[in-house]
């Protein structure tokens, strides 16, 4: 048994919860449940996962005591709309962490870029990271599987560094504890479960994606700053202009072309400007 519990808003909305101390992967467990016929609306939450993964199959290290949580849903939406659930997840996690962290104590900066003018502790980095003080605090991973009836089950995974940041990473990482905030995985999860309900309702099976993206942009890291996007070894440099209505990163390239990016590793500020 664990001490995980849904927030009151999530409970009232009918969400379910399966809590674990240690698990291989919450995303894997969610997709297994979908294959077994679960209709969705269920969270899988753990203090540690031993086989977690990030984007493009990368390993996601999860020290014991951090939060690993996945929500399984079967949305009534086309796959292209379902892909924007990553922005629903980002806004939800931003809301949850902003409630947990006292404001005004940490300046936001990404690789030397002052993303939000120092006005918030949290910034969202395209496509799926949450930053605090220029370092990765949390990550999001969406995975989907097609069901026999043609619909798609979506596993929305969240990894939050509550008590410790992974070591030896190629980018800076931080934790709530590093920020001087004592909040355990259970507290973070409860806040996240409630924040999700509000944002998912705004999304409205994809009909409200524009409203969600508006909120995402308001907390976006690096808009107006130099950006470098690495796509399988090819690096595009320019200025990060915005996120379009499809959730693509819009870059004003050095030759003044506006380019829409659907995937890639993003770096801002001084790192983006540096050349090998």
CATH 2.30.30.100 range(s) for the chain read: 226-273
Strands (E), 59-103: 67-73
**Which residue, chain included where needed, has tokens 């399966």?**
18
pLDDT of 108 reads 42
Integer Cα distance of 87 and 202 in angstroms = 12
Looking at domain 8-218, its CATH class is alpha beta
Confidence of residue 170 (pLDDT cuts 50, 70, 90): confident
| Inter-residue contact 59 to 53 (CB < 8 Å) | yes
pLDDT in tens, 196-250: 999 999 999 999 999 999 999 999 988 898 999 988 788 999 999 999 999 999 9
pLDDT of 263 reads 86
User: Would the pLDDT of 105 be above 80?
Assistant: no
**Residues counted in the chain:** 276
- Segment 132-154 shows an average pLDDT of 92
User: Would the pLDDT of 264 be above 70?
Assistant: yes
Specify the higher pLDDT residue, 224 or 271: 224
pTM: 0.88
User: Would the pLDDT of 42 be above 50?
Assistant: yes
- Segment 137-161 shows an average pLDDT of 94
Q: Which of 57, 88, 71 is nearest to 29 (CA)?
A: 71
CATH 3.30.930.10 range(s) for the chain read: 8-218
Long-range contacts, stretch 231-237, CB < 8 angstroms, 24+ apart: 231/261, 231/263, 231/264, 231/265, 236/261, 236/264, 237/272, 237/273
Distances (CA, A) of 237 to 55, 70, 95, 127, 276: 22, 34, 31, 17, 13
Integer Cα distance of 35 and 129 in angstroms = 28
Confidence of residue 99 (pLDDT cuts 50, 70, 90): confident
Architecture in CATH of 226-273: Roll (2.30)
Integer Cα distance of 272 and 110 in angstroms = 10
pLDDT of 102 reads 66
CA dihedral (119, 121, 125, 128) positive or negative: negative
Integer Cα distance of 240 and 111 in angstroms = 14
């Amino acid at each position: 048994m664990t001490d995980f519990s849904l927030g009151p808003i999530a409970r009232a909305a009918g969400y379910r919860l399966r809590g674990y101390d240690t698990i291989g992967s919450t995303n894997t467990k969610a997709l297994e449940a979908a294959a077994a016929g679960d209709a969705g609306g269920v969270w899988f939450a753990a203090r540690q996962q031993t086989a977690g993964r990030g984007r493009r199959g990368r390993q996601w290290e999860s020290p014991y005591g951090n939060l690993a949580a996945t929500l399984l849903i079967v949305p009534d939406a086309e796959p292209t709309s379902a892909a924007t659930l990553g922005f629903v997840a980002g806004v939800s996690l931003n809301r949850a962490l902003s409630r947990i962290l006292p404001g005004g104590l940490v300046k936001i900066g990404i690789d030397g870029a002052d993303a939000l003018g120092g006005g918030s502790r949290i910034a969202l980095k395209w496509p799926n990271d949450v930053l605090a003080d220029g370092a990765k605090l949390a990550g999001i991973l969406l995975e989907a599987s097609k069901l026999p009836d043609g619909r798609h089950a979506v596993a929305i995974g969240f990894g939050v560094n509550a008590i410790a940041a992974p070591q030896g990473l190629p980018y800076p990482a931080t934790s709530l504890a590093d920020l001087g905030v004592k909040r355990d995985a259970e507290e973070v999860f409860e806040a996240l479960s409630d924040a999700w309900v509000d944002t998912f309702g705004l999304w409205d099976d994809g009909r409200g994606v524009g409203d969600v993206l508006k909120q995402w942009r308001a907390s976006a890291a690096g808009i107006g700053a130099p950006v470098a996007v690495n796509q399988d070894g090819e690096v595009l440099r320019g200025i990060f202009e915005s996120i379009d209505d499809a959730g693509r990163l819009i870059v004003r390239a050095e030759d003044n072309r506006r380019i829409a990016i659907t995937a890639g590793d993003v770096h801002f500020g001084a790192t983006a400007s540096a050349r090998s």
